[in-house]
Structure 1
Amino acid sequence: MNNTLIEYTGDTNRVLESTKMEAIKAKWLPGVRILVVDDSLMNLDVVEKILTNNGASVTTASSGTEAIETLKNAQDYYDVVLMDVQMPVMDGLQATAFIRQQLNIKKLPIIALTAGTLEEEKIGRLKLA
C-alpha cells in the first residue's frame, strides 16, 4: 500500500512519516500487565519506557528473588514476564524454575531476555522455554 501512495503522491518521506505508529498515536500493548526483570537499572528504565509508551502497565524487578516475591503477592495479575537470563545470585533460569515449580505458576508466559551472544548463552536460553 505504501508503494501505491508513494507513486501517487511522489513524497516518500511524507508517506512514511504519516504511517508510523507514533503519528497516529496507536498503542501496541494497551492494558497489558508486564513484569520486567533485569539487574541493570538502565535496561529496566529503557524497557519500561518503551512498553509504557505502547500502553502497557509495567512493574520492574531488579533480581530473580524480587520477581518471585512480586509474583507471590500477585500471581494472577501479570499477563507476561520478561526475564533477564543473566543475573547475579539467582539468574533468570533459576527464577523461572522456581516460579514454575515452587509457586506452581504454569501458564504465565515468561520470555527470556539477554544481551549475551556466546554459544553457551544461546543454549541456556533454549532451556528456559
Structure 2
Amino acid sequence: MNEVNQSNIYDFKSISTVNRNWAYDVDGRKILLSYFKEIKADPNLSGKLLYKYEFEQENYYVLDICNRSSSRKRKWNGTPADVELKPAYNGPLPVSKALHKDLNSLCELNAIPAYYQSFFKNLTAENYIPQDTFDED
C-alpha cells in the first residue's frame, strides 16, 4: 500500500496545456478534466491514460497523451517520457483548527485506522474564514 500524502496527487491539467490540447479521447469523447474521478496508467498501454468520470463506472475511457487533438488534427511529436507529472500542491494544504481538532479526536478514538493517523495528525492547522462570509458595506 502506498504512503498516504499529498505528494501522490498530481496536476494533470497543467500538462494538458503544454504542447498539447487534450480535447477528445481516442473514441472522440470530449475531455472534461475537471470531472475526472479516477485516473490510472497501464504499463501495457504506453502513452495512454485510463480515466473515469464516476467511481461506479465499469470501463475506463482512454486518453492518448501523445496525441494533440485540435481542429486541425495536428500530431504532437513528443513521447510519453516527455510528459512530466508535477505535484498538484507546493506543500501541505492547511485545514481549519476546528477540523484539525476533530480529526485528532477521531484518531484518539481509533475511528480513523492507525495506518492513516500519522497523515491526519501531521496536517497543518490554521484559522480559516471563508472570504464570502464578510459583508461588504
TM-score normalised according to structure 2 size? 0.25
Structure index of larger Rg: 2
Q: Which has the higher helix share?
A: 1
Which structure exhibits the higher relative contact order, with contacts defined as CA atoms closer than 8 Å and separated by 6 or more residues?
2
